[in-house]
Amino acid sequence: MARDRLSAQEREELEAVRARLNQQLQLVTGVSPSSSADTQTDERPTLLAKANNCPCEDEVHPSNGWRPMPHHLSKAELWERIRQEAQMDASSEPALASNLFSTILVHPNLEKSMAFLLANKLANPTMLGMQLMRLISEAYEDDAGLIEACMADLQAVYDRDPACDSFSQAMLYFKGFQAIQCQRVAHWLWRKGRKALALAIQSRMSEAFHVDIHPAAQLGRGLLIDHATGVVIGETAVVGDNVSMLHHVTLGGSGTGRGVRHPTVGNGVLLGAGVTVLGPITVGAGSKVGAGSVVVSDIPCHSVAVGVPARIIKRDIVKEPVKEMDQCTDYILDYTI
């Protein structure tokens, strides 16, 4: 009921109920309802630890977090591989030669190439490409973890997306990968206190890629957002390592509070196309959520969930959902024709 339609007595009763609820909340959580969002977001590392509190015996399982694998390339090897792929494409398709030269072949390293690529994707008449390129280069110079995460994401796309034939293909043409790298730069700005510019980059990223990820959201390494159109990740969301998600996935908030109000997604989770996860809940490591599901309660580790609202139909799965990227099996337990 709208407040302006309440009588004076009803308003007094409503305020009394609200005061009692706030007092109970403070007693239970030890956190004042008026605490700032920045203070309460300290809960997020604890929530991620909870989501990942199911270690596997296999230490290289995706749910145990990102780590270099024997087949992964070093930074120098990856950059040389990208250059070789670009040279081959330029030779076989002369119409692309100018683009490949200016984006990859003219640059001395991966950082400079990514800065040029992302700046040109985000540039508009009021946010100039040269300014953005200097900004992104500054971010890469200041935080080596940004380019390390970029390499992990690139390797994840190459490993998990059967439509990806080369590293340069993912780097140049896969907007999910590009959007993640833009968010990483925006998150760097957010941590530096440059929130206005971080939000401006978020806005341009949403316009350019149709992917809306708040700069305060925390993203792990080795992420794959396949197709990516319509993906939304809110301010207090946390996404672990080795997560794969398809288009139209939403990690949305619930309520108007200033604390954690978005989901925490553990390592090695697969979110199918159109999955919606709402509120401060956790999706446990190594789990799989079926396409079109709406998740409004916690999902334990290594489970399969599907439906509206989502319900758990399998537990203790030993498969690696993010490696198989299989959105069809495990959802039908029995049926009769």
* Predicted confidence pLDDT, tens digits, the chain (337 residues): 444 556 666 666 656 655 554 544 443 333 433 333 444 445 788 888 878 877 666 666 788 889 889 999 999 999 999 999 999 999 999 999 999 999 999 999 999 999 999 999 999 999 999 999 999 999 999 999 999 999 999 999 999 999 999 999 999 999 999 999 999 999 999 999 999 999 999 999 999 999 999 999 999 999 999 999 999 999 999 999 999 999 999 999 988 888 899 999 999 999 999 999 999 999 999 999 999 999 999 999 999 999 999 999 999 887 788 777 877 777 666 555 5
Which contiguous run of DSSP H or E holds residue 136?
helix 129-142
- Separation of alpha carbons 41 and 224, rounded Å: 25
Strand pairing partners for 213?
233
Q: Residue 82's closest CA among 147, 145, 9?
A: 147
- Separation of alpha carbons 93 and 99, rounded Å: 11
Q: How far from 266 is each of 49, 101, 234, CA to CA, in Å?
A: 8, 39, 16
- Separation of alpha carbons 216 and 201, rounded Å: 12
Eight-class DSSP state of 10? H
Residue 166 CB contacts under 8 Å (≥ 6 apart), including other chains? 85, 158
pTM, two decimal places: 0.84
Can you list the domains of the chain with their CATH numbers? 43-66+220-336 (2.160.10.10), 68-210 (1.10.3130.10)
